Structures are given as C-alpha cells and as structure tokens.
Amino acid sequence: MSGHSKWSTIKRQKGVADIKRGLTFTKVANTITLAAKLGGSGDPNTNPRLRTVLEEAKEVNMPKDNIQRAID
C-alpha cells in the first residue's frame, strides 16, 4: 500500500530535510555574527570577512531576515 498515505511519506522526508537545513542556517548565522564582531562593522563593503560569509549564506539560500538578524 505504498502511496496510500502520501502525507506520511512527505512528512518524513520533509522533516529530515528541514533539520539539515536548520543546522546549516545555524552554523552560517554563528559565522556571520562572529565575522561582524571581529571585523568591527556590519557593513560588508568595509568588512571583507563578513562579505565572504554573506556569499556563503547566499549559496545555501539563507533568508535575508536571518542574515540581518545575525549581523545585528
């Protein structure tokens, strides 16, 4: 009866994917916060370390709200 309860199958796959995505976002957010503090500025134009980390955040499709929260 595979496929009978489609949501059950989707729920398991989505749960695993959401956990992996959340861990990635947490790791990148911590790196952004650290780069902003060590660079002395939340401006990526004057903080090359922050600029590099922001590029990494964009590669993993991190939401802009999460990025801004990590910088502030």
pLDDT in tens, 13-33: 999 999 999 999 999 999 999
Kindly state the tokens that stand for 52: 């590099």
Residues 6+ apart with CB under 8 A from 42: 36, 50, 71, 72
In a domain, 66, yes or no: yes
Report pLDDT for 6.
84
Host domain of residue 51: 14-71
Q: How confident is the model at residue 1 (pLDDT cuts 50, 70, 90)?
A: low
**Domain holding 42: CATH number?**
1.10.10.200
Average pLDDT over residues 29-48: 91
Q: How confident is the model at residue 63 (pLDDT cuts 50, 70, 90)?
A: very high
Average pLDDT over residues 37-47: 88
pTM over the 0.75 mark? yes
In a domain, 3, yes or no: no
Residues 6+ apart with CB under 8 A from 47: 35, 36, 39, 40, 41
In a domain, 5, yes or no: no
Number of domains in the chain: 1
